Amino acid sequence: MDIEQIHDSTSKEGLGATMGFQQTSDGKIIFGQGQRYYKYDLLGRPVWERTLPAKFADFSHEIRETTKGTYVLRVGTSDYRRTDGKQQVRSIRDHIIEVNSDGDVLDFWDLGSILDPYRDALLHTLGNVSILLPEGARKTDSLAENEKLEGEGLPFGDIPGVGIGRNWAHVNSIAHDPVDDSIVVSARHQGVIKIMRDKQVKWILADPQGWTTALAEKVLTPVDAQGSPLTLLENGRYANGFDWSWTQHTAWLTSKGTLTVFDNGWGRAFAPTKLQGNYSRAVEYRIDEERRTVEQVWEYGKDRGDNWYSPITSVVEYREDTNTQVIYSASVAFLTREKLIRPVLSEVKYGTQEVLAEYHLHSQQPGNVGYRALVIDVDKAF
């Protein structure tokens, strides 16, 4: 399959990056781009090509098949009416839709009404590029009141910033949990959140700072292997090496009942952007939903420091057939003057630091960033 034969950047429907490649249960490949999403076989033959449903727009990052045979996609909306009634805006990377095999919409999640679009704790770390409430404005727990605090001068658009109509969430992955038919989303600018079918938040895997009163009650408590709460240290870290994931990607459930996350580490502990002394991690968590606790059971990459640090993109995926973690640190050297990316693809034996295979890539085009790596089951495909 030659993606260049599918990617047509000269048309409205073809604008945007081709993203979210996943292999489905029948061996085919699904992905999306701009205003369309697709299913192809590995020989490049289309199964279907579809335009996003009306009112939804701007696919990117993620499309996944559920165990029910449906598909969940990360989108925005083309005409979102805010509660302040100022105007209808184009919402940015903050909606999830579920469609059936015919493309009919079965359900959707409006994260702007589920979470807090004005939580800016992590946005502060992105520096002057972020759009925040005017100086002196005091955020409340009310969405409507916070919208009024914006005033008239804040621009809308695909820019990091608070409020619907800006990139306040930046959802980059979705996982469907068949146990309770819920979804787990990775919102890069907020954290990892599990949301039920009734649109209620089940838990939040993120630093407790900045959440509304109601959402703060959903933040998981870090514990050790015996279930005892971990001590919060003076530097904002926890005992036993536990850490949250920061500006993370690919929060996916595993067949072991755990959650793996690529912890990019940009803005770690709410620190300002720095060009050296950083690290990324592949990390595995075990969550006890009844006790609302989280245990960190494994991590990899911290000791590799800047040479393995990917501030954006990247993936970790547990492979049951090989009992390994496949990790793609996709944007190494992104925060350098040259921006000549050096991605690293590693396969690590489960639960260890043992690297079974590793591949180093070198981009010759400045700023040409990798996104994900995907293992293809060829037998399933044919």
CA atoms within 13 A on the CB side of 215: 28
Query: What is the tens place of the pLDDT at every residue in 37-64?
Result: 999 999 999 999 999 999 999 999 999 9
Look at the block and give the residue holding tokens 């994260």.
Answer: 111
Q: Which residues are known catalytic residues? A: 249
Which amino acid appears at position 43 of this protein? L
CA distances from 176 to 74, 128, 132, 160, 254 (A): 13, 35, 32, 26, 11
Query: What is the tens place of the pLDDT at every residue in 305-346?
Result: 999 999 999 999 999 999 999 999 999 999 998 999 999 999
CA atoms within 13 A on the CB side of 322: 13
Under a CB-based contact definition with an 8 Å cutoff, are residues 95 and 56 in contact?
A: yes
pLDDT band at 3 (very low <50, low <70, confident <90, very high): low
pLDDT at residue 12 in the model: 64
Instruction: Count CB neighbours of 301 within 10 A.
Output: 25
128 has a pLDDT exceeding 70:
no
pLDDT at residue 88 in the model: 85
pLDDT at residue 83 in the model: 86
CA distances from 373 to 149, 313, 344 (A): 42, 10, 10
**Tokens in use for 146?**
């916070």
10 has a pLDDT exceeding 80:
no
Mean pLDDT in residue range 181-205? 98
Under a CB-based contact definition with an 8 Å cutoff, are residues 229 and 223 in contact?
A: yes
pLDDT at residue 1 in the model: 64
pLDDT at residue 127 in the model: 67
pLDDT at residue 11 in the model: 67
Better-scored residue on pLDDT, 354 or 11: 354
- DSSP state at residue 111: H
Share of the chain above pLDDT 70, in %: 96
Question: Chain-centre distance of CA 154, in angstroms?
Answer: 26
C-alpha torsion angle, residues 274, 275, 279, 281 (rounded to 10): 80
- Lowest mean pLDDT segment, chosen from 90-104, 180-194, 208-222, 362-376: 362-376
pLDDT at residue 13 in the model: 65
pLDDT band at 149 (very low <50, low <70, confident <90, very high): very high
In residues, how long is the chain? Answer: 382
Under a CB-based contact definition with an 8 Å cutoff, are residues 352 and 346 in contact?
A: no
pLDDT at residue 126 in the model: 78
Which amino acid appears at position 208 of this protein? P
pLDDT at residue 26 in the model: 97
186 has a pLDDT exceeding 80:
yes
Mean pLDDT in residue range 369-375? 93
pLDDT at residue 16 in the model: 79
Q: Cα–Cα distance between 138 and 128 in angstroms, integer?
A: 19
- DSSP state at residue 112: H
31 has a pLDDT exceeding 80:
yes
Mean pLDDT in residue range 104-129? 92
Query: What is the tens place of the pLDDT at every residue in 152-179?
Result: 888 999 999 999 999 999 999 999 999 9
151 has a pLDDT exceeding 80:
yes
pLDDT at residue 14 in the model: 65
pTM confidence score: 0.96
